[in-house]
Amino acid sequence: MELGRKNLLTVLRIKENGAYLGEPGMDDAVLLPRREVPEGVLVGDALEVFLYKDSEDRLISTTTVPPLEVGSVAMLPVSQITDISAFLDWGLLKELFLPFREQTGKLREKSLVPVILYIDKSGRLAASMKIYDRLSPASPYEKNDKVSGLIYEIKKDLGAFVAVDGKYYGMIPASELFEKVKVGDTVNARVLKKRPDGKLDLSPRKKAYSQMRDDAEKVLEVIKSYDGELPFTDKASPEQIKAELKMSKAAFKRAVGKLLKDGKIVIGKDSIFKK
Protein backbone atom coordinates (compact mmCIF):
# COMPACT_ATOMS: atom_id res chain seq x y z
CA MET A 1 0.00 0.00 0.00
CA GLU A 2 1.64 3.21 -1.18
CA LEU A 3 1.06 6.48 0.64
CA GLY A 4 0.24 9.42 -1.62
CA ARG A 5 -0.72 7.26 -4.59
CA LYS A 6 -3.68 5.48 -6.12
CA ASN A 7 -3.88 1.87 -4.97
CA LEU A 8 -6.07 -0.97 -6.20
CA LEU A 9 -7.09 -2.73 -2.96
CA THR A 10 -9.48 -5.49 -1.99
CA VAL A 11 -12.35 -5.14 0.47
CA LEU A 12 -11.29 -7.45 3.32
CA ARG A 13 -14.16 -6.72 5.69
CA ILE A 14 -17.03 -4.31 6.14
CA LYS A 15 -17.76 -2.77 9.56
CA GLU A 16 -20.12 -0.13 10.88
CA ASN A 17 -17.52 2.64 10.42
CA GLY A 18 -16.65 1.65 6.85
CA ALA A 19 -14.77 -0.88 4.74
CA TYR A 20 -11.28 -2.15 5.49
CA LEU A 21 -9.11 -2.56 2.41
CA GLY A 22 -5.84 -4.32 1.80
CA GLU A 23 -4.07 -7.14 -0.01
CA PRO A 24 -5.69 -10.59 0.21
CA GLY A 25 -3.87 -12.83 2.72
CA MET A 26 -2.18 -9.91 4.51
CA ASP A 27 -3.05 -8.51 7.94
CA ASP A 28 -2.55 -4.80 7.10
CA ALA A 29 -5.77 -2.99 6.27
CA VAL A 30 -6.76 0.64 5.78
CA LEU A 31 -10.14 2.20 6.48
CA LEU A 32 -12.37 3.60 3.77
CA PRO A 33 -14.85 5.71 5.80
CA ARG A 34 -18.48 4.65 5.52
CA ARG A 35 -19.50 7.87 3.74
CA GLU A 36 -17.16 6.93 0.87
CA VAL A 37 -18.00 3.24 0.53
CA PRO A 38 -19.77 2.78 -2.84
CA GLU A 39 -23.27 1.35 -2.62
CA GLY A 40 -23.45 -2.39 -3.08
CA VAL A 41 -19.77 -3.08 -2.36
CA LEU A 42 -19.06 -6.60 -1.05
CA VAL A 43 -16.12 -8.33 0.62
CA GLY A 44 -13.71 -9.38 -2.12
CA ASP A 45 -14.47 -6.45 -4.40
CA ALA A 46 -11.54 -4.38 -5.71
CA LEU A 47 -11.57 -0.59 -5.25
CA GLU A 48 -9.19 2.09 -6.51
CA VAL A 49 -8.44 4.47 -3.64
CA PHE A 50 -5.93 7.20 -2.74
CA LEU A 51 -4.00 6.75 0.52
CA TYR A 52 -3.17 9.66 2.82
CA LYS A 53 -3.06 10.37 6.57
CA ASP A 54 -5.90 11.88 8.57
CA SER A 55 -5.67 14.62 11.22
CA GLU A 56 -4.58 12.02 13.78
CA ASP A 57 -1.77 10.79 11.50
CA ARG A 58 -3.51 7.50 10.73
CA LEU A 59 -3.37 5.96 7.26
CA ILE A 60 -6.74 6.30 5.58
CA SER A 61 -8.17 5.82 2.11
CA THR A 62 -10.50 7.84 -0.07
CA THR A 63 -12.27 7.29 -3.38
CA THR A 64 -11.65 10.99 -4.13
CA VAL A 65 -8.50 11.14 -6.24
CA PRO A 66 -6.61 14.46 -5.83
CA PRO A 67 -4.94 16.14 -8.84
CA LEU A 68 -1.44 14.95 -7.90
CA GLU A 69 0.43 11.96 -6.49
CA VAL A 70 3.86 11.72 -4.82
CA GLY A 71 6.42 13.06 -7.28
CA SER A 72 3.92 14.83 -9.51
CA VAL A 73 3.05 18.51 -10.02
CA ALA A 74 -0.24 20.41 -10.05
CA MET A 75 -1.59 23.93 -9.59
CA LEU A 76 -3.43 24.14 -6.26
CA PRO A 77 -5.28 27.01 -4.53
CA VAL A 78 -3.96 28.42 -1.25
CA SER A 79 -6.70 27.98 1.35
CA GLN A 80 -4.93 29.24 4.47
CA ILE A 81 -1.70 31.04 5.40
CA THR A 82 -0.07 31.03 8.85
CA ASP A 83 3.20 32.48 10.17
CA ILE A 84 5.09 29.25 9.57
CA SER A 85 3.22 27.46 6.80
CA ALA A 86 0.37 27.44 4.32
CA PHE A 87 -2.35 24.96 3.46
CA LEU A 88 -3.64 24.02 0.02
CA ASP A 89 -7.00 22.75 -1.15
CA TRP A 90 -6.49 19.46 -2.98
CA GLY A 91 -10.02 18.16 -2.76
CA LEU A 92 -9.63 16.05 0.40
CA LEU A 93 -11.03 16.67 3.89
CA LYS A 94 -7.54 17.26 5.26
CA GLU A 95 -5.81 20.17 3.54
CA LEU A 96 -2.31 19.74 2.12
CA PHE A 97 0.54 21.18 4.22
CA LEU A 98 3.00 23.55 2.49
CA PRO A 99 5.89 24.29 4.89
CA PHE A 100 7.41 27.77 4.94
CA ARG A 101 10.84 26.36 3.96
CA GLU A 102 9.29 24.85 0.82
CA GLN A 103 7.81 28.16 -0.37
CA THR A 104 9.57 30.20 -3.04
CA GLY A 105 7.69 33.49 -2.78
CA LYS A 106 4.99 35.42 -1.00
CA LEU A 107 1.62 33.65 -1.09
CA ARG A 108 -1.92 35.00 -1.21
CA GLU A 109 -5.02 33.16 -0.13
CA LYS A 110 -7.04 31.74 -3.05
CA SER A 111 -4.11 32.16 -5.44
CA LEU A 112 -3.01 29.14 -7.48
CA VAL A 113 0.54 27.89 -6.92
CA PRO A 114 2.53 25.11 -8.63
CA VAL A 115 3.58 22.42 -6.15
CA ILE A 116 4.95 18.90 -6.10
CA LEU A 117 3.79 16.28 -3.60
CA TYR A 118 6.41 14.53 -1.44
CA ILE A 119 6.70 12.51 1.78
CA ASP A 120 8.53 14.39 4.54
CA LYS A 121 10.96 12.97 7.10
CA SER A 122 8.05 12.26 9.46
CA GLY A 123 6.35 10.09 6.85
CA ARG A 124 3.61 12.61 6.14
CA LEU A 125 2.47 14.05 2.84
CA ALA A 126 3.49 17.65 2.13
CA ALA A 127 3.78 20.06 -0.78
CA SER A 128 6.79 21.94 -2.08
CA MET A 129 7.16 24.84 -4.50
CA LYS A 130 10.80 23.80 -5.01
CA ILE A 131 9.86 21.58 -7.90
CA TYR A 132 13.00 21.36 -10.05
CA ASP A 133 15.07 19.16 -7.71
CA ARG A 134 12.18 16.77 -7.04
CA LEU A 135 11.29 15.86 -10.64
CA SER A 136 12.29 12.53 -12.15
CA PRO A 137 15.01 12.29 -14.83
CA ALA A 138 13.76 8.84 -15.90
CA SER A 139 11.42 9.92 -18.68
CA PRO A 140 10.62 7.40 -21.43
CA TYR A 141 10.84 10.06 -24.15
CA GLU A 142 13.42 10.53 -26.89
CA LYS A 143 14.22 13.17 -29.53
CA ASN A 144 11.19 14.25 -31.62
CA ASP A 145 8.66 12.57 -29.31
CA LYS A 146 5.56 14.64 -28.58
CA VAL A 147 4.97 15.46 -24.92
CA SER A 148 2.67 17.52 -22.72
CA GLY A 149 3.43 19.22 -19.43
CA LEU A 150 2.76 21.98 -16.92
CA ILE A 151 4.84 25.17 -16.84
CA TYR A 152 5.83 25.66 -13.19
CA GLU A 153 8.51 28.36 -13.49
CA ILE A 154 9.72 30.90 -16.04
CA LYS A 155 13.16 32.52 -16.11
CA LYS A 156 13.48 35.18 -18.77
CA ASP A 157 17.08 34.40 -19.71
CA LEU A 158 16.74 30.61 -19.57
CA GLY A 159 13.20 29.74 -20.61
CA ALA A 160 10.13 27.94 -19.28
CA PHE A 161 10.52 24.99 -16.92
CA VAL A 162 8.02 22.21 -17.63
CA ALA A 163 6.92 19.21 -15.58
CA VAL A 164 6.42 16.74 -18.44
CA ASP A 165 3.50 14.41 -17.63
CA GLY A 166 3.52 16.26 -14.30
CA LYS A 167 6.69 14.48 -13.13
CA TYR A 168 9.67 14.58 -15.55
CA TYR A 169 12.31 17.29 -16.13
CA GLY A 170 11.63 19.48 -19.15
CA MET A 171 12.57 22.97 -20.31
CA ILE A 172 11.65 25.16 -23.27
CA PRO A 173 14.76 27.29 -23.93
CA ALA A 174 14.20 31.04 -24.27
CA SER A 175 15.25 30.74 -27.94
CA GLU A 176 12.18 28.53 -28.56
CA LEU A 177 9.68 30.76 -26.75
CA PHE A 178 7.85 32.98 -29.24
CA GLU A 179 4.34 32.87 -27.79
CA LYS A 180 3.63 34.39 -24.39
CA VAL A 181 3.29 31.73 -21.69
CA LYS A 182 2.68 31.84 -17.95
CA VAL A 183 3.06 29.61 -14.93
CA GLY A 184 0.19 27.13 -14.85
CA ASP A 185 -0.11 26.80 -18.62
CA THR A 186 -0.23 23.30 -20.09
CA VAL A 187 1.93 23.07 -23.20
CA ASN A 188 2.25 20.52 -25.98
CA ALA A 189 5.80 20.26 -27.22
CA ARG A 190 8.36 18.24 -29.15
CA VAL A 191 11.54 16.84 -27.59
CA LEU A 192 14.48 18.69 -29.13
CA LYS A 193 17.09 16.77 -27.18
CA LYS A 194 17.36 14.28 -24.34
CA ARG A 195 20.41 15.14 -22.26
CA PRO A 196 22.72 12.49 -20.73
CA ASP A 197 21.17 13.22 -17.32
CA GLY A 198 17.68 12.49 -18.69
CA LYS A 199 16.46 16.09 -18.77
CA LEU A 200 14.47 17.12 -21.84
CA ASP A 201 14.91 20.22 -24.00
CA LEU A 202 11.55 21.03 -25.59
CA SER A 203 10.05 23.15 -28.33
CA PRO A 204 6.37 24.02 -28.79
CA ARG A 205 7.08 24.26 -32.52
CA LYS A 206 6.97 21.40 -35.03
CA LYS A 207 9.88 20.20 -37.15
CA ALA A 208 11.04 22.93 -39.55
CA TYR A 209 9.41 21.47 -42.68
CA SER A 210 6.05 20.98 -40.91
CA GLN A 211 6.20 24.28 -39.04
CA MET A 212 6.98 26.16 -42.26
CA ARG A 213 3.47 25.55 -43.62
CA ASP A 214 1.86 26.91 -40.45
CA ASP A 215 4.24 29.87 -40.37
CA ALA A 216 3.52 30.69 -44.04
CA GLU A 217 -0.20 30.82 -43.31
CA LYS A 218 0.45 33.04 -40.30
CA VAL A 219 2.63 35.43 -42.29
CA LEU A 220 -0.02 35.66 -45.01
CA GLU A 221 -2.67 36.50 -42.41
CA VAL A 222 -0.48 39.25 -40.95
CA ILE A 223 0.11 40.69 -44.45
CA LYS A 224 -3.67 40.75 -44.94
CA SER A 225 -4.07 42.59 -41.62
CA TYR A 226 -1.76 45.29 -43.03
CA ASP A 227 -4.12 45.70 -46.03
CA GLY A 228 -1.92 43.50 -48.19
CA GLU A 229 1.44 45.21 -47.57
CA LEU A 230 3.73 44.15 -44.72
CA PRO A 231 5.95 47.18 -43.92
CA PHE A 232 9.18 45.18 -43.64
CA THR A 233 10.96 42.27 -45.34
CA ASP A 234 13.02 39.32 -44.17
CA LYS A 235 15.90 41.77 -43.72
CA ALA A 236 14.14 43.19 -40.61
CA SER A 237 15.69 42.71 -37.19
CA PRO A 238 14.96 39.49 -35.25
CA GLU A 239 13.37 41.64 -32.53
CA GLN A 240 10.89 43.27 -34.93
CA ILE A 241 9.97 39.91 -36.47
CA LYS A 242 9.45 38.31 -33.07
CA ALA A 243 7.32 41.25 -31.88
CA GLU A 244 5.11 41.25 -34.97
CA LEU A 245 4.90 37.55 -35.81
CA LYS A 246 5.99 35.61 -32.69
CA MET A 247 8.58 33.60 -34.64
CA SER A 248 12.32 33.60 -35.22
CA LYS A 249 13.94 35.37 -38.14
CA ALA A 250 14.97 32.00 -39.60
CA ALA A 251 11.38 30.73 -39.42
CA PHE A 252 10.11 33.98 -40.98
CA LYS A 253 12.57 33.67 -43.87
CA ARG A 254 11.50 30.06 -44.51
CA ALA A 255 7.83 31.08 -44.46
CA VAL A 256 8.44 34.02 -46.83
CA GLY A 257 10.41 31.71 -49.14
CA LYS A 258 7.50 29.27 -49.31
CA LEU A 259 4.97 32.04 -50.00
CA LEU A 260 7.22 33.41 -52.73
CA LYS A 261 7.62 29.95 -54.27
CA ASP A 262 3.85 29.41 -54.14
CA GLY A 263 3.33 32.75 -55.93
CA LYS A 264 1.33 34.28 -53.09
CA ILE A 265 3.56 37.32 -52.39
CA VAL A 266 5.90 39.79 -54.05
CA ILE A 267 8.92 41.16 -52.15
CA GLY A 268 9.65 44.85 -52.64
CA LYS A 269 12.56 46.90 -51.43
CA ASP A 270 11.14 47.65 -47.99
CA SER A 271 7.90 45.65 -47.84
CA ILE A 272 6.14 42.43 -48.81
CA PHE A 273 2.96 42.52 -50.88
CA LYS A 274 0.16 40.00 -51.11
CA LYS A 275 -0.15 38.93 -54.74
- Output the pLDDT for position 210: 63
CB 231 within 8 A of CB 272: no
Percent of the chain topping pLDDT 90: 62
pLDDT the model gives residue 259: 85
Domain-ending residue, one of 182, 203, 224: 203
Residues 269 and 214 placed together within one structural domain of the fold? yes
Domain CATH code at residue 114: 2.40.50.140
Render pLDDT for 172-197 as a digit per residue (tens, 0 to 9): 999 888 778 899 999 999 999 999 99
pTM, 2 dp: 0.76
Strand, coil or helix: 184: coil
Q: Produce one character per residue of 163-173: b if its CB has 16 or more CB atoms within 10 Å, e if not.
A: bbbbbbbbbbe
Of 163, 169, 132, give the one whose Cα is nearest residue 148: 163
Phi, psi at 70, each rounded to 5°:
-55, 130
Q: Is residue 1 part of a domain?
A: no
State the pLDDT at residue 263: 87
Residue 208's pLDDT is what? 57
The pLDDT tens digits of the residues spanning 222-264 come to 888 888 888 888 888 888 888 888 878 888 888 888 888 888 8
- 259 touches 216 (CB < 8 A): yes
- How does residue 205 score in pLDDT terms, banded at 50, 70 and 90? confident
| DSSP output for 60-126 | EEES---S--BT-EEEEEEEEE-SSEEEE--SSSSPEEEEGGG--S---TT-EEEEEEEE-TTS-EE
| pLDDT band, residue 99 (cuts 50/70/90) | very high
In a domain, 47, yes or no: yes
Distance CA 233, CA 272 (A): 6
Count up the domains in the chain and report the number. 4
Domain boundary among 160, 176, 203: 203
- Confirm whether 68 is domain-assigned: no
Task: Lowest mean pLDDT of 20-24, 146-150, 165-169, 240-244, name the range.
Answer: 240-244
Q: How confident is the model at residue 12 (pLDDT cuts 50, 70, 90)?
A: very high
- Residue 59 to residues 40, 69, 128, Cα–Cα distance (Å): 24, 15, 21
Domain that holds residue 237: 208-274
Are 151 and 122 part of one and the same domain? no
- Last residue in a domain, options 132, 159, 182: 132
Q: Are residues 143 and 114 in the same domain?
A: no
Query: 228 lies in a domain?
Result: yes
Cα(61)–Cα(20) distance, rounded to whole angstroms?
9
* pLDDT tens sequence across 149-167: 999 999 988 999 999 999 9
Distance CA 265, CA 256 (A): 8
What confidence score (pLDDT) does residue 275 get? 83
